[in-house]
Amino acid sequence: MKKVVIGAFSSAIIIILIVLSSIYIKVKKWDGLVYRGVTIDRVDVSSKTKKEVQDIVKKKFDKIVQNRTINMVTDDNKTIPLKYSDINVKYDIDKAVSGAFDYGKSLSIYDRYKLLHNPKKLEISVGMTYDKNALENSIKNLSNTLNKKAKDATIVKTASGFQITPEADGKKVNEDKLKADIEGKITDNNITDYNVKINMDAVKANATQDKLKGINTLISSFNTEYASLSSPQRANNITLATKAINGIVLMPGDSFSFNGVVGERTAAKGYQSAPVLIGNKSDMGLGGGICQVSTTLYNTVLTSGIKATERHHHTLPSHYVPVGYDATVDYGTLDYKFKNTLSFPIYIEGNTDNGHVTFNIYSDASLLSKTYKVSSENISDSVPKAKVYLETYENGTLISKDMIANDAYSK
């Protein structure tokens, strides 16, 4: 009986060893192959060696990089190509191949056998990278080609009144959406090209015909006489600077810079050498007389109710305005600036008729319910010194008096 039991036990051991050996042999047979059910980006790589998988996947993705194009389509159905090579698309093929080949290999012999006997599907995606800066630059270049600036309405004062040319809206590429659409497609690893619609956003004009219709009434004016003070060269400079300012339109919130509008005073622009105040001394310089233009404009703007955001007084009193009423400028150092704080656009008219430099400001007639006056008080008999105020009247009644300058000059 004992011999029978031992024999049966030995037979079982032999059977187990045979089964284990069979399992081991079958599993070992797949050590150099990818297990069944594995695909890389929809390509079945089952039963392939690592080298075979590498060649298959590389061939597919090399073809994508070399040939695939993103077709960016405009509103009028024009196509602008963007090649994968333009944005340096790269695929991490080695990682995907290693993932496919290593699948299941770390399991126990028995679990590997079960996986081979009853395969489970595994889909591996090839990782992709691209040069984001290159994509953004490509989109920027596209925008530079397709974008169209809005054209503001323009207004010109003529003998018969104001003439307005209507605005024209512009358009610009919606760069964020285009980039998002491309990035949403670029990870789809198909060989075929694809189209992406270029969405254009409307760009509204700042100055519109309706807004400029609010320019209809003279709201302030100021002039100074220069003929008796000026050489032909100084008069020439005053005329040139005034012409540069004539016709300027400022929408509500727009800022004005005298130096920005008139620009550098150069001989190439026609400016001539004339007396100019430098410190406490008079000398010759290109653009002499320009400060009379800035001063006249400064007072015109004040009497429309708009204060300066930058203004400087001379070192010596000016002959053409009271003490404290001047505004000196010097290109690159001293500027006269203001911001249109009114609720309507303003039109600045400048002329140099009859030896006077004159500025007129036009805007909406409703603004005439308020008027403005510049006043001053001398506070020293020994030194030219004055406090200057801007008085505001509503329907003829003084409602505010703000000090806008407290200036002292050399004798």
Domain boundaries of the chain, sorted by first residue: 1-30, 32-206, 214-408
Q: Is 378 helix (H, G, I), strand (E, B) or coil?
A: strand
Q: What is the pTM of this model?
A: 0.73
Helices (H), 45-155: 50-67, 93-102, 109-117, 132-146
129 forms beta bridges with 90
CA distances from 259 to 275, 324, 394 (A): 19, 21, 33
- Beta strand segments in 287-367, E: 308-310, 337-339, 346-351, 356-363
In contact, 124 and 94? CB cutoff 8 Å: no
Helix (H) or strand (E) holding 218: strand 217-225
Q: Is 247 helix (H, G, I), strand (E, B) or coil?
A: coil
**Which comes out higher in pLDDT, residue 73 or 185?**
73
pLDDT value of position 6: 64
Using CB atoms within 10 A of its CB, is residue 221 exposed (0-12), middle (13-18) or buried (19+)?
middle
pLDDT value of position 164: 97
pLDDT value of position 191: 57
Radius of gyration, CA atoms only, the chain: 41
Phi-psi region of 175 (alpha: psi -120 to 50; beta: other; left: phi over 0): alpha
Distance (Å, rounded) from C-alpha 199 to C-alpha 197?
Answer: 6
pLDDT value of position 342: 97
Distance (Å, rounded) from C-alpha 11 to C-alpha 16?
Answer: 9
Residue 237 has pLDDT above 60, yes or no: yes
Residue pLDDT, tens place only, 55-69: 998 888 887 777 788
In contact, 87 and 134? CB cutoff 8 Å: yes
Sequence-ordered list of residues with C-beta below 8 angstroms from that of 407, at least 6 positions apart, any chain: 313, 323, 324, 385, 386, 388
Read off the pLDDT band of 171 (50, 70, 90): very high
In contact, 336 and 329? CB cutoff 8 Å: yes
Residue pLDDT, tens place only, 104-128: 999 988 888 888 889 999 999 888 8
Residue 141 has pLDDT above 90, yes or no: yes
The label of the residue with tokens 């011999």 reads 3
